[in-house]
Structure 1
């Protein structure tokens, strides 16, 4: 089941509750992605930003700020910052992965070229730092600068771990924390910081984002081995790209000699043949790694919900709790 196919959609409830703020964020994004001298920048940026993404990460910043009673203007800057960082990483990722499709549309690197995608991604990173500086908060700058570095670190770690059958679950978690959870947690954390919340509350917001991001990525990795996603990827993309995700890491650990030889050929050496994806899925099923990974994802979603226990009751809090359930509803 895709995100859009679920019976209830907490991200849409959040979007409705935060409609005015989201409108202001969209206005700021359009204004700041403009370029007087390089028209290709808004062309490439608009192709991705206006492709129907759910704005989940900036919504987390707006939600945290609203839940914490913030009434100033800078949550909009921070939400736009988070979206720019996210978009920059997507542009770079599609080049690294040689992707041809994102959110059901051709990727920017396919429509233009790799050079444009990389350079426009660089521009968006620069714009994101301009936006966060405008808040005047060194703590906010520290959080988002660290998150940007962590994201890049996670991508490099994934690059070095790809096709390496020695990749452990600990390494996988480091990759996920880097490439996905770091921006979820920073998006939540800065919402609390800009609202002047105490350290306990800010830590709770960070913990929610961290656990939600991990659950989100684990679910995404699970869906790659079964089910069509609304985000434009095809079943088996991770297998074809020889990525060691959690279900595969566990299947490799449980493999007998013949199975190990299969993983060596298909993943480590990249000599993939027709029927290999189906065989790989059969091994995941045989060793129960899809089910054990699903249980892990639900556990992280539960941790996200528990993290909010220290936050006073608030309509936004209830939506964030529902969002954690919703992320894993795709695999339950």
Structure 2
């Protein structure tokens, strides 16, 4: 989902501040997504990379490096690494989810095929590791390789947890930390590490990225049930129709009566959905006020992100990062 629903867009202000470095990142991405022998690789990659994403994750790496007064060249390599990992996961996700649209455009697996999406995703993961090693910093290699493993683990966990009513908020948080927050926290952490920042500052950057990623994903999951389709690019209730147990439903299931639980078993676990089921599901969420509770959770994680970044020295970048934390949940107002 996009970040264009509010009037003030701090990620655009951050992009303007980091424009020169982002140009270098984009040039490096274009250079490294090339393939001498397999022209389909740049074709598929260019389709997704050129689809108008905000490049928030690589910007976070650049922002963290500048916040820690880094003056070397390798934050550009790390930002490109983060974007390659993100793009690879999107290609794989669209195959797993059998998606037909991303960012308002047909998915690569629809335009080409599943095999191309999976293999090009693998290529981008490989390219990301090449970029990591060029920094000569074992710590950033450890952080980003761990993040890659965590992302894959989170996606596999989601496969089993998404339709299992035993999934509670703890498991949900583990999935979110894997599939979303792991790359946010790695993106900010490596920016501090490459700059040689104090351990406490690196920890603050990690905590910021972790909390920001969780707030971001909870907000997305909430907007699936109460967002504007024209702005989110999704139809209300897509997660319900796809039998995904996200936080608003998990909270409703936890409080359900025996009859209500039978409804969730039929629609989510067994996938036997009928006309009017979405409306009934929304009614149960309203009964237990789970949309409000989910919104409160998203706001709390945004506050945790701001609190973490508040431990760093005063800097215009720090203020923009705090604004971004507010912004990802401002979509819920």
Partner of 2:122: 122
Does 1:306 find its partner at 2:311? no
| Number of residue equivalences | 332
| Shift of residue 3, structure 1, vs aligned partner | 2.3
Counterpart-to-counterpart distance in 2, 1:118 and 1:168: 30
Moved more, 67-76 or 2-11: 2-11
CA gap of 1:222–1:83, structure 2 versus 1, over 3 A, is same
Gaps of 5+ in 1: none
| Secondary structure of 2:306's aligned partner | helix
| Secondary structure of 1:224's aligned partner | helix
Superposition TM-score, scaled by structure 1 size: 0.98
Counterpart-to-counterpart distance in 2, 1:167 and 1:91: 26
Does 1:250 find its partner at 2:251? yes
Aligned 8 A contact 2:11 2:324 in 1:
yes
| Shift of residue 328, structure 1, vs aligned partner | 0.4
* Cα deviation digits, residues 208-266 of structure 1 (max 9, x gap): 00000000000000001111354533222211111111110010111112211111111
Partner of 1:49: 49
Aligned 8 A contact 1:193 1:202 in 2:
yes
Partner of 1:140: 140
Partner of 1:151: 151
* Cα deviation digits, residues 176-229 of structure 1 (max 9, x gap): 000000000000000000000011000000000000000000000000111135
Partner of 1:218: 218
Counterpart-to-counterpart distance in 2, 1:61 and 1:217: 19
Aligned 8 A contact 1:104 1:231 in 2:
no
Partner of 2:14: 14
Aligned 8 A contact 2:162 2:246 in 1:
no
* Cα deviation digits, residues 78-130 of structure 1 (max 9, x gap): 00000000000000000000011110111100111000000000000000000
Counterpart-to-counterpart distance in 1, 2:35 and 2:275: 47
Root-mean-square deviation over aligned CA pairs? 1.1
Counterpart-to-counterpart distance in 1, 2:309 and 2:226: 31
Structure 1 outlier segments of 4+, above 4 Å? none
Counterpart-to-counterpart distance in 2, 1:248 and 1:231: 19
Partner of 1:282: 283
| Shift of residue 316, structure 1, vs aligned partner | 0.5
* Cα deviation digits, residues 252-304 of structure 1 (max 9, x gap): 11111221111111101001112211211111111110000100100000000
Moved more, 59-68 or 278-287: 278-287
